[in-house]
């Protein structure tokens, strides 16, 4: 692929790098932040979930904004807003402030990744899409790779606040590179009107569902209030689905799910993405709270999945062409589930070398599944629908990950309660059942992947 065809995927993947760096650093630094703010560690999962929920709420508007104001302009402003939110997070003095600034950060993140993916899909010919998507995932892998170690180094030698301030120079670099290498585009001649009703209904539904799931079983709200939130969220999404049928340009275009490969990527991949959200949250907590490891050693072990993920990039394009999307997805997802479940066998006495190797292999197969799924999902989408497709897929992806974080927290809290303890006194045995359940959830995606045919994505493989 020509040099400029590689530069564009790397530039538009800068936001993915920022998000993965932010999330992986945050997970490693949670115990230190909790100690500084005098909170239970698990209460700080609100800082992760609020960010991911903010992404899910504002993601649907990203496609319309790109069409209305131009993709490059929205992309640059989104990175700037994300960087501003990061700066304010670094200045926060209590949990409410941190959650509020994480929501602001999520508003920027909601536009960064889907608009960047849209720029990529519009600028790269279909003949080069597989290779471009591989390059697109490289910065994200570096973010996951650098995050755990950087998080351990930062909380060990300087203040945790630098985990947020570190995003600023990368944000500036992303904006500068985008303005230099990405062609300027203008708004569409006749952009669709903004679906205000749909935006409000979808936002209310997502907040109700994920917010209710987040508070369930943690004593943050009365049980009745949690059930009301979940019921309200489900009702709002049902009303949105009904009302969107008569809207010519709904903010979330569910009609795109008629494309089988896209439906597989969005709906079928949700269990796999829930597991992806849960695992990086659980691992650093298990190493630090369950095993008593230092943040630095925890960070070193937690980067192993990212090393495995990065290793996949050199082989995945050829594997897709030789094996096909269907069988590669089935094999990689099954192995990913097995490795997630195996993490529950780790004990404080387990060799650190063995832990690193197992996590590395798990990251390798997980990456193979995700690159394959993300590439297949857009193979049949018409060009005029691409902006709405990236918005819907991005929303589903971030919703799944936010649910994964909340789900993981609930699993650990429930295990501690069964063992006669509480969330304030977690032990190694509280994490084992959680990883087994996460592995089982991953297998649910196989139901959708098995429905694919050998011809799925053949138009990309033949290029």
Residue 459 has pLDDT above 80, yes or no: no
pLDDT of 323-338, one tens digit each? 888 999 999 999 999 9
Residue 447 in domain: yes
pLDDT at 322: 84
> Does residue 160 sit in the same domain as residue 267?
yes
> Does residue 116 sit in the same domain as residue 16?
yes
Looking only at Cα atoms, what is the longest distance across the chain? 64
What's the mean pLDDT in 111-121? 83
> Does residue 209 sit in the same domain as residue 342?
no
> Does residue 368 sit in the same domain as residue 243?
no
Residue 46 has pLDDT above 80, yes or no: no
pLDDT of 406-429, one tens digit each? 788 888 888 888 877 766 677 888
Residue 1 has pLDDT above 50, yes or no: no
Domain boundary among 213, 228, 250: 250
The confidence band for 342, taking pLDDT boundaries of 50, 70 and 90, is: very high
pLDDT of 237-290, one tens digit each? 899 888 888 777 888 888 889 998 999 999 999 999 999 888 888 888 899 888
**Nearest alpha-carbon partner for 110 in 18, 193, 177:** 18
Residue 372 in domain: yes
Burial of 183 (0-12, 13-18, 19+ CB in 10 A): exposed
Domain boundary among 227, 250, 273: 250
> Does residue 231 sit in the same domain as residue 306?
no
Residue 244 in domain: yes
Residue 408 in domain: yes
Please give the distance of CA 28 from its chain centroid, rounded to a whole number.
Answer: 16
> Does residue 261 sit in the same domain as residue 246?
no
Residue 44 in domain: yes
CATH number, domain of 144, equals 1.20.1250.20
pTM: 0.76
Which distant-in-sequence residues (6+ apart) come within 8 Å of 22 by Cβ?
51, 86, 105, 143, 147, 163, 164, 167
> Does residue 369 sit in the same domain as residue 433?
yes
pLDDT at 254: 86
Q: Considering the chain, what percentage of its residues have pLDDT values greater than 90?
A: 24
CB 71 within 8 A of CB 115: yes
Which distant-in-sequence residues (6+ apart) come within 8 Å of 229 by Cβ?
208, 209, 211, 212, 215, 221
> Does residue 246 sit in the same domain as residue 378?
no
Give residue 235's domain range: 195-250
Residue 436 in domain: yes
Please give the tally of structural domains in the chain: 2
> Does residue 109 sit in the same domain as residue 131?
yes
> Does residue 118 sit in the same domain as residue 174?
yes
What does the alpha-carbon distance between residue 148 and residue 89 come to, in Å, rounded to a whole number?
19
Residue 219 in domain: yes
> Does residue 130 sit in the same domain as residue 276?
yes
Question: SS3 breakdown of the chain: % helix, strand, coil, rounded to 5?
Answer: 80, 0, 20
> Does residue 220 sit in the same domain as residue 180?
no
Residue 189 in domain: no
The confidence band for 296, taking pLDDT boundaries of 50, 70 and 90, is: confident
């Amino acid at each position: 692929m020509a040099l400029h065809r590689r530069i564009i995927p790397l530039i538009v993947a800068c936001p993915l790098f920022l998000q993965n760096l932010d999330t992986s650093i945050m997970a490693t630094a949670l115990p230190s932040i909790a100690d500084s703010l005098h909170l239970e560690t698990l209460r700080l999962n609100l800082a992760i979930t609020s960010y991911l929920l903010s992404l899910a709420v504002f993601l649907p508007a990203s496609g319309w904004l790109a069409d209305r104001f131009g993709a490059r302009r929205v992309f640059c402003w989104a990175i700037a807003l994300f960087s501003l939110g990061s700066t304010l997070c670094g200045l926060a003095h209590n949990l409410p402030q941190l959650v509020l600034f994480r929501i602001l950060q999520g508003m920027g993140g909601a536009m960064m990744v889907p608009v960047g993916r849209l720029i990529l899909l519009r600028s790269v010919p279909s003949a080069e899409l597989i290779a471009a998507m591989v390059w697109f995932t490289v910065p994200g892998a570096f973010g996951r790779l650098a995050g755990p170690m950087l998080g351990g180094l930062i909380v060990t030698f300087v203040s945790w606040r630098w985990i947020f301030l570190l995003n600023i120079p990368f944000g500036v670099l992303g904006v500068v590179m985008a303005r230099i290498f990405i062609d300027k585009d203008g708004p569409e001649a006749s952009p669709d009107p903004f679906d205000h009703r749909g935006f409000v209904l979808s936002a209310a539904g997502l907040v109700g569902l994920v917010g209710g799931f987040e508070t369930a079983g943690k004593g943050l709200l009365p049980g009745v209030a949690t059930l009301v939130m979940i019921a309200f969220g489900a009702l709002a999404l049902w009303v949105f689905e009904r009302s969107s049928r008569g809207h010519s340009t709904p903010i979330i275009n569910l009609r795109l799910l008629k494309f089988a490969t896209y439906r597989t990527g969005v709906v079928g991949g949700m269990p796999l993405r829930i597991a992806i959200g849960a695992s990086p949250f659980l691992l650093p907590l298990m190493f630090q709270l369950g095993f008593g490891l230092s943040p630095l050693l925890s960070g070193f072990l937690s980067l192993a999945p990212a090393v495995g993920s990065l290793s996949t990039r050199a082989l995945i394009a050829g594997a897709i062409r030789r094996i096909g999307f269907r069988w590669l997805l089935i094999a990689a997802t099954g192995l990913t589930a097995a490795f997630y479940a195996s993490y529950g066998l780790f004990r404080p006495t387990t060799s650190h070398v063995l832990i690193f190797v197992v996590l590395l292999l798990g990251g390798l197969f997980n990456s193979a599944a995700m690159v394959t799924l993300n590439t297949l999902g857009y193979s049949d989408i018409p060009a005029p629908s691409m902006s709405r497709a990236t918005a819907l897929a991005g929303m589903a992806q971030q919703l799944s990950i936010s649910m994964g974080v909340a789900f993981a927290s609930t699993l650990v809290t429930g295990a501690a309660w069964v063992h006669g303890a509480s969330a304030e006194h977690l032990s190694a045995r509280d994490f084992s059942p959680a990883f087994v359940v996460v592995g089982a959830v991953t297998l649910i995606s196989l139901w959708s992947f098995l429905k694919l045919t050998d011809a799925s994505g053949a138009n990309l493989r033949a290029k």
